[in-house]
Structure 1
Amino acid sequence: MKSVALDLDGTLLNSQKDISKENISILKELYSKGVEIFIVTGRSYSATEGVIKKLELPIIAICYNGAKVVDSKNSKVIYEQPLSEDIVKVLIEISRKNKVHLNLYQNEEWLVENKNNWQTKYYRDNIGLDAVEKNFDIFDSFKMTKALFVDERVNLLEIEKEIKEKLGNKVHLTYSQEKYLEVLNSDVNKGKTLEKILKDKGLELETCIAFGDANNDKEMLMMVGCGVAMGNAETELKSISKEVTDTNDNHGVYKFLIQKI
């Protein structure tokens, strides 16, 4: 084990969106022994900073499911692969036609057209940040780090189908939670970006342990030397993972890693 890659929501974070002292202690101990620690999350960097501060470690944060990478020591962006303007315009059109809520992310701002609907409130409660209300017809640039549809899964499945019909393989689609359909640059997923960052650090996928709980963690867990699904993970993720640990509310990360020291 040379590195550990950790999803946040449903993995390192418990249901109260906090990190247990057990998880903090094991990551600090591993870091002191020379193991690199990476956060790999669907969250924006602004919604990840607070977690990193609690860990008190100089972590590289792979955010937006791999679309943006930030060095937390100086908040410097070291990699970004946004959605193109033409794709974003199609997503806005799909959102409005189907009356399904769309989040856009640009320059670390979370942008919505309606701050008062249940979808915005639901997302705000999950990440602890507030949205910026914006007319999606007016941008200096329509390039976005990522897009996120928020709604009931039955509605998102219809949106997914329409996106595939209109954009095909021009985008990468993944579910990060039951009500979240993420839309990313076609060259982006957690696994691809983690592989790039590990290579830049002189590390190999084979010596990395990664933890996750949802569909957007699939590529990462399949690519590393040891992919670990949380006890609360989706069934499909457990089936493709090499190992399964306890749940995020029962210190699953700590319980798995303590055996490796």
Structure 2
Amino acid sequence: MIKLLAIDIDGTLINFERPNISKKVINTVMAAKKLGVYVVLISGRNYYSMKRYLEDLGIEEYGITTNGGIVLDLKTGKAIIENEMKKEIALGIYNKLEEEEIPYSLFAGLNVYVSEEHRNQPTISLLAKEKDNVIVVDDMKKFILENKMNKFMFMDEDHTLDALRDYFEEKYGECVNVEYGFEKHMEIYPKCLDKGMALEGLAEQLEIPMENVMAIGDAENDISMLEVAGTGIAMGNAIKNVKDHADFVTKSVEEDGVAYAIEKFIIKKCCKEDGKAV
């Protein structure tokens, strides 16, 4: 039986056309929680960017942010697991993105940081709608030198991103993951912690075997958690590479695929085990 459910946000719970979680998904998640299932959101987003979704689903225990880079105790606001990008790698990435004039943001701790010249980029503007989320930095190089970095996110046309991916993988591939978060967005974060490893760490802390863990996602950065979870679910709108790593493909985000998967693998199975009619 599923005891821990990990759900991605963008492309899974919501998308740009539907920025709020549907009532059906909220109700189904609540039903799973009433059955004793721990529910955790696990996203490339930082804490302030996922905060309202945690509140919508009544999640008060844990949140996994920044592609698994930070496992947050929501009651204390403290990280119980956290990664950190090496300074020399962060500076190398910064220099290349500046040289290519690619819009980017930095994820550090609970916030997103951006330079003045990129603050009006559409994705940054979207992130800035969340209260206290995006902070403008005057001197990004100085900020990198003085603070702990968890992730870079940069945005551009696909052909440019593919070339940058090749460059960063060749130069830093032993130390970082370079993945599409979703279309026209690429993310770089340390290999020391991804969504899969973070989910395993949380499950261990909760003393839940991985065979009793279910994960739902749609993007490349979700593959690691789909692989380690006992039940890995890809969204109907997921890219083929993600579907190839899943145990089951649910409906799309527009069709409330999260709700469909929870009903199929948690609610109906629980009712059958209890001997109740489904």
TM-score bracket for the superposition, by shorter chain length: over 0.9
- In structure 1, the residue matched to 2:276 is none
Structure 1: state its 5+ residue gaps: none
Superposition pairs of residues 240-251 of structure 1, within 5 angstroms: 240-251=245-256
Q: Deviations over 1:183-228 (max 9, x none)?
A: 1112121111111111111012111111001111011111111111
CA contact (8 A) 1:172 1:188 kept: no
TM-score, structure 1 normalization: 0.93
CA contact (8 A) 1:115 1:132 kept: no
CA contact (8 A) 1:212 1:230 kept: yes
Superposition pairs of residues 37-116 of structure 1, within 5 angstroms: 37-116=39-118
Structure 2: state its 5+ residue gaps: 268-278
The answer to whether structure 1 residue 213 and structure 2 residue 215 are counterparts is no
The match for 2:175 among 170, 175, 191 is 170
Superposition pairs of residues 2-13 of structure 1, within 5 angstroms: 2-13=3-14
Task: Point out the more displaced range, 127-136 or 150-159.
Answer: 127-136
- In structure 2, the residue matched to 1:258 is 263
2 CA distance for matches of 1:76 and 1:168? 29
- CA 1:135–1:224: 2 relative to 1, 3 Å: same
- CA 1:257–1:109: 2 relative to 1, 3 Å: closer
1 CA distance for matches of 2:111 and 2:11? 23
Amino acid at match of 1:144: M
Q: Deviations over 1:6-61 (max 9, x none)?
A: 00011012432211111111111111211111111000011011111111232411
2 CA distance for matches of 1:68 and 1:114? 26
Which secondary structure state, in structure 1, belongs to the residue aligned with residue 173 of structure 2? helix
Task: Point out the more displaced range, 190-199 or 6-15.
Answer: 6-15
Percent of pairs identical after alignment? 28
CA contact (8 A) 1:88 1:142 kept: no
- In structure 2, the residue matched to 1:194 is 199
Shift of 1:102: 2.0
1 CA distance for matches of 2:34 and 2:22? 19
- CA 1:37–1:152: 2 relative to 1, 3 Å: same
The match for 1:134 among 114, 119, 138 is 138
Which secondary structure state, in structure 2, belongs to the residue aligned with residue 23 of structure 1? helix
- In structure 2, the residue matched to 1:204 is 209
- In structure 2, the residue matched to 1:21 is 23
CA RMSD of aligned residues (A): 1.8
Shift of 1:126: 5.6
CA contact (8 A) 2:177 2:190 kept: yes
Which secondary structure state, in structure 2, belongs to the residue aligned with residue 47 of structure 1? helix
CA contact (8 A) 2:40 2:59 kept: no
2 CA distance for matches of 1:146 and 1:56? 27
Number of residues of Structure 1 aligned to a counterpart in Structure 2? 260
The answer to whether structure 1 residue 155 and structure 2 residue 160 are counterparts is yes
2 CA distance for matches of 1:144 and 1:96? 17
2 CA distance for matches of 1:116 and 1:256? 38
Which secondary structure state, in structure 2, belongs to the residue aligned with residue 182 of structure 1? strand
CA contact (8 A) 1:85 1:141 kept: no
Shift of 1:127: 6.6
The answer to whether structure 1 residue 239 and structure 2 residue 228 are counterparts is no
